[in-house]
Amino acid sequence: MPRVAFHTLGCKLNYAETATIGKQFLDRGYQLARAGEPADVWVINTCSVTERANRECRQLIRRALRSPGNPYVIVTGCYAQLDPENVASINGVDVVLGAKEKFDLFRYADPSAGKGTPRVHVSEIETVETFGPAFTTEAGSRTRAYLKVQDGCDFNCSFCTIPLARGVSRSQPVDDAVAQARDLVVQGYREIVLTGVNVGDYGKASGASLLTLLRALEQVKGLERLRVSSIEPNLLTPEIIDAVAESRTLCRHFHIPLQSGTDEVLRAMRRRYTTGQYADLVNAIRERIPDAGIGVDVITGFPGESEAHFDATYRYLCGLPVSYLHVFTYSERPNTPAAAMKGTVEPRVRYQRNDMLRMLGQKKKQAFYEGAVGRLLPVLTEGDVEDGVRFGFTSNYVRVGIPAAACRENEIVQTKITGVSRMVCTGIVGEERVPA
């Protein structure tokens, strides 16, 4: 029986799509190669969000080519879509597939035919209009599944290649998403995370909305948690915030990209909000849902970001009542407006600023976790156990360690939070709520 190995770089959306591609092989009698086992076919799903991501993709391709048995190598994903000729030029690559072709892999690739001249099947991104449904689960876990409900983006931020790699915004119909969610619940998953490139733009072409989808998924019997992976600030409406506040299923957790704490840089980035509007949104969430987890994406070293701009961003984030930061160092991407902008920031300075914001993010997270101490919170337990401690997450995205003997995997257990150690809350099961 032939074996196939899958390797994925990048976001949860990529992992969901790899799982769907994998089904094409399993349906044809392939066996999944485990880590370290030789494989007849390697499928590499790539990312291209930064130049570092591109470099990691090339390294992974070369590692596949060095593996035993001279495997048939298929490369797809964002890097393959954006720079197919470069990928195909790596000696030993057999097939390069674009965004339109990857969900119909065997139409373009025949691993049984053996290796030969590299073939490139990458359509112009403007022709990509279909939606490839996909979902994936965390390795070895029956706790959380990631369901792809949206793809592509129409926002065209000046630093981003996603519209070039994934095309226009498009969504899965509500009924299809609900059907997939029901299947996942039957398989035992208690939490579903909605993924996409721009999830807040869900339903744009059909007249549906993210709120419509959330309301429909709330009705799925047995689904105990529903989480949105990320949502743009201009698409996070008061109605969605109210829905989360009033729901027993929707997680009290928002991940909201910011990117810069100054309006001048936001305009250069072509973002669709101001720092004032962003702060008003965060404060509105805090007022409606005081214990909400709020994550923030920030980019350091964007062209034209002066020391004064960075200082303003740092001060802005210090005063913003958020829970954690995801900090990215700006990377020039070909064919984006930002790559041609003046005011290039030295890489050394970009990384210094990144380090400063990461440290601030750790302080934010520590303070948010400390605010949970003494509370009784439901924790969805996972398979990870270290030194007798099982880990899980609360609805508002606090990671908690619980004595493994007191709970099993994939349970929602009421947990008294007793402390914070090494950026993880500690807890014990079954305690009564501590009076405020």
At 15, is the secondary structure helix, strand, or coil? helix
433 pLDDT above the threshold of 50: no
Q: What's the CA gap between 351 and 346, in Å, rounded?
A: 9
Query: What is the model's pLDDT at position 141?
Result: 59
Boundary of a domain, candidates 329, 353, 370: 370
Domain containing 171 equals 134-370
In this predicted model, what pLDDT tens digit does every residue of 138-178 receive, in sequence order?
544 578 899 999 999 999 999 999 999 999 999 999 999 99
Around Cβ 131, how many Cβ atoms within 10 Å?
19
Query: What is the model's pLDDT at position 203?
Result: 94
Q: Give domain status of residue 422, yes or no.
A: yes
Q: Which residues pair with 31 in a beta bridge?
A: 3
Amino acid at 88: A
Same domain? For 249 and 150 the reply is yes
120 pLDDT above the threshold of 90: yes
- Please compute the mean of the pLDDT values over residues 201-227 and round it to a whole number: 95
Query: What is the model's pLDDT at position 434?
Result: 37
Same domain? For 185 and 111 the reply is no
In this predicted model, what pLDDT tens digit does every residue of 265-298 receive, in sequence order?
999 999 999 999 999 999 999 999 999 999 999 9
Query: What is the model's pLDDT at position 436?
Result: 32
- Please compute the mean of the pLDDT values over residues 14-36 and round it to a whole number: 89
Q: Residue 275 — φ and ψ, nearest 5°?
A: -65, -35
Q: Give domain status of residue 434, yes or no.
A: no
Query: What is the model's pLDDT at position 273?
Result: 98
Same domain? For 413 and 305 the reply is no
Same domain? For 113 and 139 the reply is no
Same domain? For 102 and 47 the reply is yes
- Please compute the mean of the pLDDT values over residues 368-378 and round it to a whole number: 96
Q: What's the CA gap between 258 and 265, in Å, rounded?
A: 11
CATH number at residue 389: 2.40.50.140
| Number of compact structural domains in the chain | 3
137 pLDDT above the threshold of 70: no
In this predicted model, what pLDDT tens digit does every residue of 392-412 receive, in sequence order?
999 999 999 999 999 999 999
In this predicted model, what pLDDT tens digit does every residue of 36-69 receive, in sequence order?
788 999 999 999 888 888 889 999 999 888 888 8
Query: What is the model's pLDDT at position 431?
Result: 52
Same domain? For 291 and 270 the reply is yes
Same domain? For 386 and 355 the reply is no
Same domain? For 198 and 255 the reply is yes
Same domain? For 364 and 383 the reply is no
